[in-house]
Amino acid sequence: MPALLMRDVRFKYRGAPDYALDGVSLDIEKGEFVTILGSNGSGKSTVCLLSDGLIPHAVPGSLEGRVEVFGEETSKRTVAELSTRVGIVFQEPESQLFCMSVEEEVAFGPENLGVPPHEIRERVEWALELVGMKGYNSRSPFSLSGGQKQRVAIAASLSMRPEMLVLDEPAYALDPVGRRELYSVLKDLKARFGMTVLLAERDCEEAAAFSDRLVLMKGGRVLESGPPRQVLRNPEKLRQVGIIPPQVSEIASILNSRLGKAEYSFLSVDEAEMAIADGLPAWRRGKLR
Amino acid sequence: MIPCTSAIPSQDKVISIKNLKFTYEGGVRALLDICLDIKYGDYLAIVGGNGSGKTTLAKTLNGLLRPSSGAVFVKGRPTTERRVSELARVVGYAFQNPDHQLFCSSVEEEVRFGPSNLGYSEEDVRQKAEQAIVGMNLSHLRGKPPLSLRLGERRRVSMASVMAMDPEVLILDEPTTGLDAEEVSELMRRLRRLNEEGKTIILITHDMRLVAEHAKRVVVMAQGRIVLDSDPRGAFTDIEVLRRSSLEPPAVTLLSHRLSKFEIPQDIISPEELVLHLLRSEGESK
């Protein structure tokens, strides 16, 4: 049973002329980290809203096809029920934070579920530790940097102990350092807990290295889905759908074309460094011959 | 920190900032002793993390904010001695969020608003608006309400309404946020053309790839100060300064630093350039 199952899903927002999703079939397995790549209007945010039941329960429109979360049809469950299984984090952390302290913020979800106080305390500590915000309990969320706010928003989702975490462009409002903090938390969630994660992004400079799968979307359809190495083999293809490819995959692609039949693919600076250090002496000798 | 060399404004510069300090009501000190000269026709990138003072600095250039101390000279005269409408003819500012400046019921009206407020004749307003509408590729959208458009289009409308006032200096605050790859390259092409035509461009961003590819000069800000002022190549050689300023150099620059033992230069800013150096024959000079 997959964490998320979508079959022939079409969705049109009320009043919109076109379908936001136009026949999407997509499975996310338990423990999988999937990054959906798409530009504006690709449908990636709509997939996020479907996965936690905000569509069809809170967002008006017409929905066709089947959407299941852990084997249950989302249309037959309430948003409150689904919120214990799927946590969602949006672009702007400010839109999700409203409490006076970080601790209240993170405790808010489980309190509403009627979780006993001692367990709430445990969950809060666990979630804050996980996002690297231990000790910030009594700080006001509004005194934090963008990256810290977004990590608190993630902790507030995690304290509900969801089985799947959905993030819609979580780095949108962050500066490069905030971005780095955020992605190291996501990487950690996967490495330490094998958390099921659905990340919607407009580029994969960081996520390529630790995603199990990249899904390329455009115009409400899935164009390609596969391991990052396969999807990033041809960086030009990403540009054609409005995605700026990771610089390391551009380097690999240029190297391959200059070296003839080489088949390099780099997903991170570390990987590129090792492969280049390894191959470079031979490339340079080769040119002298 | 870059110190001020003299307190006298440079007459040959379009903008000359001397010992500028700015403190918001409530006491947040956003700018601490800024000195910066910008010459006519420059293409300057102001980079820095959130809260480093980039946007505050930009707003002092067109008189939206008045210095708490020090001065900003625009074409040799302090901003405090000019009306904002007068400054708008020289320094145009496109907000980070285009919706903060869009309020008319059609694109055409929106773009005409600026020049008609500056007191241009009917004919001049028509001509300037038309030029900006065509220049920003908005002809097919001229009758539409701006707020009904997509983000990339709204951003073009906000830029066109600034362009229509025909300013010599164009400030763009995070103009690529939320745009698709294609829209970004189209926007950057337009900016390059405007710069070639003689406009001074000031780009505020934290996208270091964009800076590497387009700017002629980079000013790095951190905690209300300018911590580095150099050409893009120079700015990328000091990774530590960038990191301390909440910035991250492009992956290709990081990689060239890690590969320095192979005699790869430390100031590489494009993938093509890196591969060229990687495949250089032994003994070949740089």
Same domain, A105 and A170: yes
Q: CB of A277 within 8 Å of any CB in chain B?
A: yes
Mean pLDDT of B264-271: 89
Mean pLDDT of B258-274: 90
Same domain, A223 and A126: yes
Same domain, A61 and A36: yes
Answer for the pair B15, B61: CB distance below 8 angstroms, yes or no: yes
Query: B149 contacts in A (CB within 8 Å)?
Result: none
pLDDT of residue B119: 83
For residue A240, tell me if it sits in a domain: no
Task: Closest CB to A175: pick one of B184, B246, B272.
Answer: B246
Query: A254 contacts in B (CB within 8 Å)?
Result: 271-272, 275
Say yes or no to pLDDT of B59 above 90.
yes
Q: How confident is the model at residue A287 (pLDDT cuts 50, 70, 90)?
A: low
- Determine if residue A15 is left, alpha or beta; phi over 0 gives left, psi from -120 to 50 gives alpha, anything else beta: left
CATH code, domain with A184: 3.40.50.300
Answer for the pair B46, B203: CB distance below 8 angstroms, yes or no: yes
Tokens of B214: 């387009």
Same domain, A223 and A258: no
pLDDT of residue A289: 42
pLDDT of residue A181: 86
Using CA coordinates, name the residue in chain A closest to B151.
Answer: A40
Interchain contact, B259 vs A277, CB within 8 Å: yes
Q: How confident is the model at residue B60 (pLDDT cuts 50, 70, 90)?
A: very high
Boundary residue ending a domain (A204, A232, A260): A232
Say yes or no to pLDDT of B239 above 90.
no
Q: Which of residues 148-207 of A touch B (CB under 8 A)?
A: 172, 174-180, 202, 205
For residue A270, tell me if it sits in a domain: yes
Closest to B104 measured CA to CA, from B59, B179, B160:
B160
Interchain contact, B248 vs A259, CB within 8 Å: no
Q: How many domains does chain A have?
A: 2
For residue A111, tell me if it sits in a domain: yes
Interchain contact, B180 vs A39, CB within 8 Å: yes
Query: B264 contacts in A (CB within 8 Å)?
Result: none
Residue type at B102? Answer: L
pLDDT of residue B177: 82
In chain B, % of residues over pLDDT 90: 55
Answer for the pair A8, A65: CB distance below 8 angstroms, yes or no: yes
Q: A interface mutation test: which of B239, B258, B269 has the most A CBs within 10 A? A: B258
In chain B, % of residues over pLDDT 70: 96
Domain that holds residue A139: 4-232
Interchain contact, A176 vs B178, CB within 8 Å: no
Same domain, A188 and A289: no
pLDDT of residue B273: 93
SS3 content of chain A, % helix, strand, coil (to 5): 45, 20, 35
Q: How confident is the model at residue A288 (pLDDT cuts 50, 70, 90)?
A: very low
Interchain contact, A175 vs B206, CB within 8 Å: yes
User: For the whole model, what pTM was predicted?
Assistant: 0.87
Give strand ranges (E) for A82-212.
86-89, 164-168, 196-201
pLDDT of residue A10: 98
Return the minimum-mean-pLDDT range out of A19-23, A75-79, A236-240, B215-219. A236-240
Mean pLDDT of A1-19: 95
In angstroms, the separation between the Cα of residue B246 and the nearest Cα of chain A is 5
For residue A239, tell me if it sits in a domain: no
Task: Closest CB to A248: pick one of B151, B251, B283.
Answer: B251
In angstroms, the separation between the Cα of residue A40 and the nearest Cα of chain B is 7
Same domain, A62 and A137: yes
Interchain contact, A284 vs B280, CB within 8 Å: yes
| Cα Rg, chain B, nearest whole Å | 20
For residue A237, tell me if it sits in a domain: no
For residue A73, tell me if it sits in a domain: yes
Interchain contact, A177 vs B243, CB within 8 Å: yes
Tokens of A107: 């405790």
What is the rounded distance in angstroms from the CA atom of residue B100 to the CA atom of residue A279? 52
Interchain contact, A40 vs B178, CB within 8 Å: yes
Let me know how long chain A is.
289
Query: A277 contacts in B (CB within 8 Å)?
Result: 259, 262
Output phi, psi for A33, to 5 deg.
-110, 105
pLDDT digits (tens, 9 = 90+) for B65-112: 999 999 999 999 999 999 888 898 899 998 877 777 777 889 999 999
Q: How confident is the model at residue B51 (pLDDT cuts 50, 70, 90)?
A: confident
Same domain, A61 and A114: yes
Closest to A165 measured CA to CA, from A9, A10, A74, A30:
A30
For residue A238, tell me if it sits in a domain: no
pLDDT of residue B286: 44
Mean pLDDT of A241-269: 92
Same domain, A218 and A97: yes
Task: Closest CB to B255: pick one of A178, A273, A284.
Answer: A273
DSSP string, B22-88: EE-TTS-EEEEEEEEEEETT-EEEEE--TTSSHHHHHHHHTTSS--SEEEEEETTEEGGGS-HHHHH
pLDDT of residue B156: 87
Say yes or no to pLDDT of A95 above 80.
no
Same domain, A125 and A256: no
Q: CB of A53 within 8 Å of any CB in chain B?
A: no
pLDDT digits (tens, 9 = 90+) for B132-182: 999 888 999 999 998 888 878 888 899 899 989 989 999 999 888 878 888
pLDDT of residue B181: 84
Q: How confident is the model at residue B276 (pLDDT cuts 50, 70, 90)?
A: very high
Mean pLDDT of A90-117: 89
Return the minimum-mean-pLDDT range out of A40-44, A74-78, A155-159, B280-284. B280-284
pLDDT digits (tens, 9 = 90+) for A36-56: 999 988 999 999 999 999 999
Interchain contact, A40 vs B51, CB within 8 Å: no
In angstroms, the separation between the Cα of residue B69 and the nearest Cα of chain A is 27
Query: B282 contacts in A (CB within 8 Å)?
Result: 284-285, 287-288
Pure H helices in A9-88: 44-51, 54-57, 79-83
Residue type at B123? Answer: E
Same domain, A273 and A225: no
What SS3 class is residue B219?
strand
Interchain contact, B206 vs A284, CB within 8 Å: no
pLDDT of residue B7: 66
Q: How confident is the model at residue B234 (pLDDT cuts 50, 70, 90)?
A: confident
What is the rounded distance in angstroms from the CA atom of residue A155 to the CA atom of residue A146? 14
- Write out the residues of chain B at the interface with chain A, using a CB-CB cutoff of 8 A: 49-51, 150-152, 177-184, 206, 208-209, 243, 246-248, 250-252, 254-255, 258-259, 262, 271-272, 274-275, 278-283
For residue A274, tell me if it sits in a domain: yes
Same domain, A227 and A252: no
Same domain, A165 and A272: no
Query: B281 contacts in A (CB within 8 Å)?
Result: 284, 287-288
Interchain contact, A176 vs B248, CB within 8 Å: yes
In angstroms, the separation between the Cα of residue A283 and the nearest Cα of chain B is 6
